[in-house]
Amino acid sequence: MPGGSAAWGAISADGVYTAPPILPSLAGVTITATSAADGARTASAGVTVLSDISVTVSPVNPGIELGARQAFQAGVISSGRPSANVLWSLSGPGCFGAGCGTVSADGTVTAPRVLPSPSSGIVTATSVADPSKQAAVIFNVTSTFSLFLTGPSNLFTGASADYSSTLFPAANSDPVTTILWSLSGNGCTGTGCGTLSVAPSGDAARYTAPDAGTPPGPIHITATPLADAAKAVTLDVTLRAPVVAVDDATGAVVAAAISGWTCSDPGPPVFDGTYCIERLTTLPGQSYRIYAEPLDGPLTAADAFGQVTLCRNQITDPGWPPRLACVTPRAQAGFSTRIRAGP
């Protein structure tokens, strides 16, 4: 009489055995024939269920952009009629779990949104009929997004400016858009290079230059995308003192800063006082002309003339003129200086 089960296979009334579509846990199956005339009379035969399954996966070695999707197909090949279902899984030499991306039940892989290192993954199809049979292909995670950083490249010491990053993903991709900001500089460390305040959105930051001393080299503002650190963009910012002093004798340009002074227009047309200029080393009787450094190019005395207003100290200080006045230096005017901390 017919019998069997999905797990062990089935046998028809005329004795034709059909193996199960999924390899049983024990490959040996016992088939028993019982006499219809005398149920006590039986005979048994053993059958071994074999698997000649092979699995294929395509496409082979595709490139998948960060966060993009790629459909994979699996084939189960056999001389029998096993289940064609497969189980999909992901792994990679430089990732773990979700860091390798995700794969759905139908074989659609979503690449990771952050580039792994090495930048590849492995998708594996395992036969449901015979879990010992599987096939795997390597896919490459590609990163072709663009990142731009904008903001002023010249800044006065003590001033602030806003810097923005813009990430342009490749078509149909979805990289992580998180930006990591950092600050460095030639000749400075820590807050001596200034400070960065990152906006809540993370795609912009406000840089405040240090107000003491000008580093000998540029400040480096760097925006590093979490998706692919190799695509970091750096903008060099040249810090310039809001005031420069030109040595009358040599023509040398010396960076300086005036501290403790405020301006009120109009002022007298002619400079007639002595001013405190910080971070400017002078010898007794040394004379300077004072200019504002223009933001649109290198300083020359001719370019800078007339672009700064100097103001007297408002605070009463013995030995310093107490009255408030603002003036614009005249051409060739000599400026004597005294060195001290500003009031």
274 and 232, same structural domain? Answer: no
248 and 235, same structural domain? Answer: no
Boundary-marking domain end, from 195, 219, 240: 240
95 and 25, same structural domain? Answer: no
125 and 163, same structural domain? Answer: no
CA trace torsion 14, 19, 21, 26 (10° rounding): 140
Boundary-marking domain end, from 76, 110, 139: 139
215 and 176, same structural domain? Answer: yes
231 and 246, same structural domain? Answer: no
Inter-residue contact 78 to 130 (CB < 8 Å): no
335 and 262, same structural domain? Answer: yes
In angstroms, the Cα distances linking 322 to 16, 219, 273, 309, 313 are: 117, 38, 10, 18, 6
Per the structure, the count of domains in the chain is: 4
Task: Find, among 177, 342, 163, 176, the residue nearest to 256 by Cα.
Answer: 342
pLDDT given for residue 112 in this prediction: 97
**In angstroms, what is the C-alpha Rg of the chain?**
40
pLDDT given for residue 221 in this prediction: 97
Distance between CA atoms of residues 153 and 223, nearest Å: 15
274 and 321, same structural domain? Answer: yes
267 and 248, same structural domain? Answer: yes
Domain of 224?
146-240
Inter-residue contact 255 to 241 (CB < 8 Å): yes
131 and 92, same structural domain? Answer: yes
Q: What is the pLDDT along the chain (343 residues), one digit of tens a residue?
A: 466 677 777 788 788 888 888 888 777 787 878 887 777 888 888 888 888 999 999 999 999 999 999 999 999 999 988 999 999 999 999 999 999 999 999 999 999 999 999 999 999 999 999 999 999 999 999 999 999 999 998 887 777 899 999 999 999 999 999 999 999 988 788 888 999 999 999 999 999 988 755 555 789 999 999 999 999 999 999 876 555 555 556 656 555 544 333 333 333 333 333 344 444 445 555 555 555 433 333 334 343 333 333 433 333 434 434 433 333 343 333 333 333 333 2
pLDDT given for residue 312 in this prediction: 36
22 and 10, same structural domain? Answer: yes
Q: Where are the alpha helices (DSSP H) in the chain?
A: 301-304
Contacts of residue 163, defined as CB under 8 A and 6 or more positions apart, other chains included, come to 149, 150, 151, 204, 205, 206, 207, 221, 223, 235
Boundary-marking domain end, from 193, 209, 240: 240
CATH number at residue 134: 2.60.40
276 and 224, same structural domain? Answer: no
